[in-house]
Amino acid sequence: MYKCGGVVVKIDKGLVGGSTILLLLSLLQEKDRYGYEIIRELEIRSDNTFQFKEGTLYPVLHKLENMGYVESYLSKGDAGRERKYYQITKRGRKQFVEEKQQWDIFSKSVEKVIYGDDHEFA
Amino acid sequence: MNLLKSDKFIKEVLSYIKFPFDREDIKKELEAHILDKMEYYIDDRGIDKITAEELTLRDMGDPKEIGIALNKEHNFILGWIYKITNAIVTIFLIITVFTAGISLISTIFSGNPAKHISKEDIVYDIKVNEKVKIDDRVIKFKNVIYEKNGDMNIVYEYYDTKLLGMGWSLGHIGTIKDNLGNEYFEGSGSSSGGIITKGVETMNDFSSEADTLIIEYDMYNRYYKVEIPLKVGDSNE
């Protein structure tokens, strides 16, 4: 769901799905985070645009771990609750840079198509 | 977790995970998430516990969908291969450490290989300290002990300069001759294992007139010759 000028817009799941790895790596390259923290941060930063079923985050995180983009470790947070933290690896950082470049090209191309060649990009 | 609905939710997710060793980790991770989210509903939104749990599980999604997706990332076959490989590596390491430990202990406690020779029987005991090398193996001749009964004992030790070279025993230190042209065959020999192997080779009826002991090794294209000056006569050292 996306609130745009007071109007609630439904975001296609596939749109988010394609860039999930980029979003997760982006948050993890800032600092180590645990699953719930990632969900909260995605909601806050996207102004609640990215709301997906929270449990589905874990298969993606475990996939990133299998791919060697992140590593995990257990640590007790402020509440004394043991949580599984994810830490980006060197390989993950490299992947983040590549995906970000691809995203930049992709988003600019989409805007060109929608707004035409004369559209000025911020 | 003592939250019936949450426990049921997690149990259902886990029922799809075929690799049993990963279930506990997944369980803990999902439990922590559910508790965090419930805490948010209760503390930040002022919602009661029962409703908070219901809302949390609604936010989590379909346990079947999550379970199936997680199972794909926790491959049953790869998981077992990983476990078995780990077990093999662990066993190998234990054996290596154990073998190295035994070698170290036997080196420390092996002592003098010529200790069976009593002092009264010794005519002379000459320190040698000659060192030769075959491939990666260093052989040190420590001393020669001549006994009243004519036995000549050559005390030696050997070790490998490479760790992986450990394992084969020397067996033969070379042909034993003297300066008079006599050639001797080994009467007896013994050696003790370890990182440094200590050994003694005994030749019977060694000539008391010989003033040089010659050890000559010429096998498999490897060659060395050691000449050890001896004391002629019966004088005790």
Question: Tell me: the pLDDT tens digits for B36-81?
Answer: 999 999 999 999 999 999 999 999 999 999 999 999 999 877 777 8
Q: Which two tokens stand for residue B167?
A: 């394992």
Note whether A36 contacts B: Cβ–Cβ < 8 A: yes
Say how far apart CA B176 and CA B202 lie, in whole Å: 10
CATH code for the domain of A15: 1.10.10.10
CB atoms within 10 A of CB B61: 18
Paired tokens of A71: 């590593």
What pLDDT, on the 0 to 100 scale, is given for residue B107? 66
Contact predicate A103/A85, CB 8 Å: no
Domains of chain B, first to last: 4-105 (no CATH), 119-229 (2.60.40.1640)
What pLDDT is stored for residue B172 in this prediction?
73
* Mean pLDDT, rounded, of chain B: 84
Q: In b/e form, how buried is each residue of B175-213, taking b as 16+ CB within 10 angstroms?
A: bbbbeeeeebeeeebebbebebbbbbbbbeebbeebeeb
Residues B32, A59: C-beta atoms closer than 8 Å: no
A38, closest residue in chain B (CA to CA): B33
pLDDT of residue A41: 93
- Number of independent structural domains in chain A: 1
* Max avg pLDDT among A108-112, B81-85, B160-164, B182-186: A108-112
Residue A119 lies inside a defined structural domain of this protein: no
Q: Kindly state the tokens that stand for B181.
A: 């042209």
Residue B174's SS3 state is coil
Task: Give the whole-angstrom CA distance, residue B78 versus residue B63.
Answer: 23
Decide if A121 is inside a domain: no
pLDDT at A101: 93
Return the beta strands (E) in B82-171 as ranges: 122-134, 137-147, 152-160
In a domain, A24, yes or no: yes
Residue A70 pLDDT level (bands cut at 50, 70, 90): very high
Does residue A66 lie within any of the structural domains? Answer: yes
Task: Tell me which chain B residue has its CA closest to the CA of residue A76.
Answer: B32
In a domain, A98, yes or no: yes
Question: What's the start-to-end Cα distance of chain A, in Å?
Answer: 25
Mean pLDDT of all residues belonging to chain A: 83
Chain A and chain B share a number of CB contacts under 8 A equal to 65
Residue A122 lies in a domain: no
B1 interfaces chain A, CB cutoff of 8 Å: no
Distance from CA of A113 to the nearest CA of B (A): 35
The lowest-confidence range among B33-47, B76-90, B154-168 is B154-168
Q: Which residue of A has its CA nearest to B30?
A: A55
CB-side neighbour CA atoms (13 Å) of B4: 2
The predicted-structure confidence for A31-51, as pLDDT tens digits, reads as follows 999 999 999 999 898 888 777
Q: Which domain holds residue A11?
A: 2-113
